[in-house]
Structure 1
């Protein structure tokens, strides 16, 4: 796996692993992380769509939606590929998946890094000019996102160029093969990629947030809004720190493989598996941090749950109302046809206070449905007023 060897590293997960436990434990772990992370990011996107529907969109919410979308792509496209690879111990997904699996993952990681940097810069501009925060410019945000996604998709193009299938015996391997004519290009790429989508964006993001926190002016923002601002900056610093720590094993092993000349000094398979698991844990932890520490988003989630509960209650009431109306129509039709006797039994309600004994129910139904004259009334005192009754 040295720089002058036929291939540099495995793509889409390590193939040809030994030991039966790795073919069961690692795929199960990746599947669990992927399932939980996909559910959390889908929930975040649903809440953000609810916020956008209520015309409360802002630049920060749009950036959070892009972060969640990139994490969702990583967990739904990249994690299952590695789970299948560890289970099969060979490559069975075809040439297109082999060429694009590393490219998609690195592109999504680049989107996360660039979006965090853009968010940090936007929050720094907001702290310097608080009055401009209310002006949400859709065109500016759209242009920024188009640039971010374009650069993120173009930056790791060499992953597609150097990835290919290699036959070894009766199995196929997906590897990053390095031709002798491209060694210089690969050496430059192996330095630029981690610097461009990991070191530089995270460093600048942390510097922007720290500088903003230390330069907050209470007279400009107001004493009442300071706690909210500090919590917001703490949220983004937590996301950046979590992303930096979780990505460190992945990029360290990635650079280690491509710059180690001795075969014995290569990272172990356990370290490579651990680094890949950390990448997916980062994407799964993001919605948990966001829904825990972001107060407006948590309130929007509560409002959405309350709205769904109210709609569910109204739907049940509508169904019950429709059922009562249908019963009344059926009884009316049967009554007109002479299929229902004059003495009808009142409907029994589910409330215990409204329930009566069958005999009394029949008796009061008789009293309600029977017309009697004054001479034949067996209970004439019922029609007398209380003031006229003499004991």
Structure 2
């Protein structure tokens, strides 16, 4: 570090870890979490697109898609950068990545917090005035998302200003450092950032959902609508709770690093690593909570899987084409009243009926047989004799 600057923290992962196992264990943990989370969030986005295309659009679907896309960005951009840093034990991603790695992560965390707040407020307004919120207004949702992303990208801009790429011996370090002129600015920024994108959004979101639960009156709603409202409120509260608990180590260590008086008062390396892992676990838990507790999405996932299986079977039958094509089979069935019922069904060649089945029933219908030679005598029995 230069003589007129003060070291604050490493950006993009700790680059001078001790121990030979850390450069293998940490990348493996981050890669596993990232892979599971990316797969889960991609699945959620596919299901949400399917719901959006097959049903009427809603603000909740768009907001959930925004949450899933934000988690996907965190796992696809931020987690791999830290995995590479822990493996190399030096910064190898260049100056631009050094200046933007913390900014991108904090911006995505801000988008998640603001989106949960906007969704909570919208659901509270819907419960209070359902007649005014019945129609989906796409323009308003787009404007809301634009405001959320703009504020979230601008709020953590000081992360770019304080990040530096330093050379120490034969290795490069990406760090946050303060000059004497920036001490006061960092003191204000270190208080405003966690307060604005962590504390206030979480409190306001939780209050909105709790008020929504107590605002719903059974007498003014159908039972199915009431149950769905309770389920959605519990789902959002679960997401907020998991996000709150998983973000707590990160923001505690972040504030601690910037308000500690000396090197001995800084948080331990274990706490810093644990805080970073919790961030990516939060993005991995989101699709699991959503697909478990959101009943419409769970049903849509089941319908989508059934549709894909049917298409795969049709494609397989079309590719085989060796006498297994689908045929329409017409059957005449003689019921117990002596009437002929015509049934049409589709089957492949392996499931076709015998060619003389129709002839058999025609012969039985047009031929009078004696009681002793009737091959199916139970059809002539009275209904009372058939009862057990």
Please state which band the TM-score falls in when normalised by the shorter chain: 0.7 to 0.9
| Unaligned ranges ≥5, structure 1 | 327-348, 355-385
Per the alignment, residue 93 of structure 1 pairs with 93
Deviations 1:147-205 (A, max 9, x none): 00000011111111111101111100000121111111111111100000000000100
- In the TM superposition, what is the alpha-carbon distance from 1:318 to its structure 2 partner? 1.8
* Residue correspondence of structure 1 range 294-313 to structure 2 within 5 A: 294-313=294-313
Question: Looking at both structures, which has the greater relative contact order when contacts are Cα pairs under 8 Å and sequence separation is at least 6?
Answer: 1
TM-score calculated relative to the size of structure 2: 0.82
Partners of 1:222 and 1:38 in 2: how far apart? Answer: 38
User: Separation in 2 of the partners of 1:287 and 1:57?
Assistant: 20
What pairs with 1:56-71 in structure 2 (closer than 5 Å)?
56-71=56-71
What residue in structure 2 maps to residue 285 of structure 1?
285
Alpha-carbon contact 2:317-2:324 (below 8 Å) kept: no
Number of equivalenced pairs = 331
Q: Confirm whether residue 17 of structure 1 aligns to residue 17 of structure 2.
A: yes
2:115 paired residue number? 115
Q: 1:236, 1:254 → 2: CA distance?
A: 26
1:126 counterpart residue number: 126
| Residue pair 1:78, 1:104 contacting (<8 A) in 2 also | yes
**1:35 pairs with 2:35:** yes
- Residue 230, structure 1, aligned to residue 230, structure 2: yes
Task: Provide the C-alpha distance between the structure 1 equivalents of 2:320 and 2:28, rounded to a whole number of angstroms.
Answer: 45
Looking at structure 1, the residues matched to 64 and 153 of structure 2 have their Cα atoms a distance apart, in angstroms, of 19
Q: Map of 1:137-152 to 2, 5 A cutoff?
A: 137-152=137-152
Query: How much does 1:132 deviate?
Result: 3.4
- Structure 1 distance, partners of 2:197, 2:81, is 22
Structure holding more strand per residue? 2
C-alpha RMSD of matched pairs (Å): 2.1
CA distance in 2, matches of 1:233, 1:5: 48
Paired with 1:133 and 1:45, the residues of 2 have a C-alpha distance of 25
Q: Is the 8 A contact 2:324 2:350 kept in 1?
A: no
Asked if 1:78 corresponds to 2:87, the answer is: no
Q: What displacement does 1:325 show? A: 10
CA distance in 1, matches of 2:164, 2:182: 15
Which string of whole-angstrom CA distances, capped at 9 and with x for unpartnered residues, describes residues 281-330 of structure 1? 00000000000000000001011101111111111122233x5599xxxx
The aligned residue for residue 254 of structure 1 is 254
The answer for unaligned runs of 5 or more in structure 2 is 326-348, 355-366, 369-388
Contact 2:190–2:258 (CA<8 Å) still a contact in 1? yes
User: Is 2:253–2:267's contact at 8 Å kept on the other side of the alignment?
Assistant: yes
For residues 252 and 76 of structure 1, what CA distance do their matches in structure 2 show? Answer: 24
Higher Rg of the two aligned structures? 1
Specify the SS of the correspondent of 1:19. coil
- 1:339 — aligned with what? none
Which structure has more helix as a fraction of its residues? 1
Shift of 1:134: 2.8
**1:1-391 pair list within 5 angstroms:** 5-321=5-321, 323-324=322-323
Q: Is the 8 A contact 2:121 2:205 kept in 1?
A: yes
Helix, strand or coil at the partner of 2:167: strand
1:5 Cα deviation after fit:
4.7
**Which piece of structure 1 moves more, 267-276 or 311-320?**
311-320
Normalising by structure 1, what TM-score? 0.81
Q: Is 2:116–2:205's contact at 8 Å kept on the other side of the alignment?
A: yes
Does the aligned pair in 2 maintain the 1:130–1:221 contact within 8 Å?
A: no
Is the CA contact (8 Å cut-off) linking 2:11 and 2:98 kept in structure 1? yes
Specify the SS of the correspondent of 1:17.
coil
Alpha-carbon offset, residue 229 of structure 1: 1.2
Structure 1 316/302 Cα, relative in aligned 2: closer, same or farther at 3 Å?
Answer: same
8 A Cα contact 1:10 1:176, kept in partner: yes
* SS at 1:8 equivalent: strand
1:52 Cα deviation from its structure 2 partner: 1.2
Q: Structure 1 residues 178-187 or 192-201, which shifts more?
A: 178-187
